[in-house]
Amino acid sequence: MPANSWPENDSYNELDPLNSLFSDLSGDDELEIEEVETDPVFLPSRFQGRRKKAALVLTVVWSGTIALHLVSWGSIFILGLTTILGIHALRIVFARPGKEHLVGESNFFPYQEEMLGDLPKVSVLVAAKNEEAVIANLVKNLCSLKYPQGNYEVWIIDDNSNDTTPQLLAQLTEKYNNLKVLRRSAEASGGKSGALNQVLPLTQGEIIAVFDADAIVSPDLLLRVIPLFAKEKLGAVQVRKAIANAKENFWTKGQMAEMAVDAVFQKRRIAIGGIGELRGNGQFVRREALECCGGWNEETITDDLDLTFRLHLNDWDIDCAFNSAVEEEGVTNAIALWHQRNRWAEGGYQRYLDYWDLILRNRMGRSKTWDLLMFLLIMYILPTAAVPDLLMAIARHRPPILSPVSGLTVTMSMAGMFAGLKRIRQDKEKKFRVSSYFVPLLQTLRGIIYMFHWFVVMSSATARMSVRPKRLKWVKTLHQGTGD
Cβ-in-10-Å burial (0-12, 13-18, 19+) of 403 comes to middle
Residue that wins the pLDDT comparison between 417 and 45 = 417
Please check the confidence at residue 399 and state whether its pLDDT lies above 80: yes
Residue 453, domain member (yes or no)? yes
**DSSP symbol at 209:** E
Higher pLDDT, 114 or 274: 274
What average pLDDT does the chain have? 83
Rounded Cα distance between 158 and 123, Å, is: 16
Same domain, 75 and 222: no
* Final residue in a domain of this structure, among 285, 311, 334: 334
For 425, the domain range is 33-94+365-475
**Tens-place pLDDT, residues 56-76:** 999 999 999 999 999 999 999
Q: How many domains does the chain have?
A: 2
Residue 115 has pLDDT above 70, yes or no: no
Q: Is residue 404 part of a domain?
A: yes
Instruction: Clarify whether residues 230 and 201 are in a common domain.
Output: yes
Rounded to an integer, what distance in angstroms lies between the CA atom of residue 166 and that of residue 181?
A: 9
Rounded Cα distance between 76 and 24, Å, is 49
Does one domain contain both 204 and 256?
yes
Q: Write down the pTM of the prediction.
A: 0.83
The reply to whether 264 falls in a domain is yes
Q: 83 and 120 share a domain? A: no
Residues 247 and 287 in one domain: yes
Same domain as 118, residue 218: yes
- Confidence band of 473 (pLDDT split at 50, 70, 90): very low
Residues 328 and 210 reside in one and the same domain: yes
- 99 vs 327 pLDDT, higher one: 327
Does pLDDT of 363 surpass 80? yes
CATH code for position 300:
3.90.550.10
Instruction: Say if 102 falls within a structural domain.
Output: no
Q: Give the per-residue pLDDT at 299.
A: 85
Cα separation, 423 vs 443, in Å, equals 13
**End-of-domain residue from the set 334, 355, 388:** 334
Residues 211 and 323 in one domain: yes
Does any domain span residue 16?
no
| 197 in the same domain as 294 | yes
**Tens-place pLDDT, residues 143-201:** 999 998 889 999 999 988 888 999 999 999 999 999 999 998 888 878 888 999 999 99
Question: Are the beta carbons of 372 and 364 closer than 8 angstroms?
Answer: yes
Backbone angles phi, psi at 124, to 5 degrees: -100, 120
Is there a single domain that holds both residue 89 and residue 213? no
Answer left, alpha or beta for residue 28, where phi above 0 means left and psi between -120 and 50 means alpha. Answer: beta
Q: Which of 282, 311, 334 is the last residue of a domain?
A: 334
The answer to whether 77 and 68 have CB atoms below 8 angstroms apart is: yes
- φ/ψ of 133, rounded to 5, equals -75, -25
In a domain, 22, yes or no: no
Evaluate if residue 18 carries a pLDDT over 80: no
Angle at 232 between CA 90 and CA 326, to 5 degrees: 65
Report yes or no on 28 lying in a domain: no
Contact status, residue 332 vs residue 246, Cβ threshold 8 Å: no
Q: Are residues 160 and 66 in the same domain?
A: no
- Any domain includes 355: no
Determine the average pLDDT of the residues in 37-55: 66
The torsion angles phi and psi of 128, rounded to 5 degrees, stand at -125, 135
pLDDT in tens, 283-329: 999 999 999 988 999 888 889 999 999 999 999 999 999 888 999 99
Indicate the pLDDT class of residue 471, thresholds 50, 70 and 90. Answer: low
Do 38 and 163 lie in one domain? The reply is: no
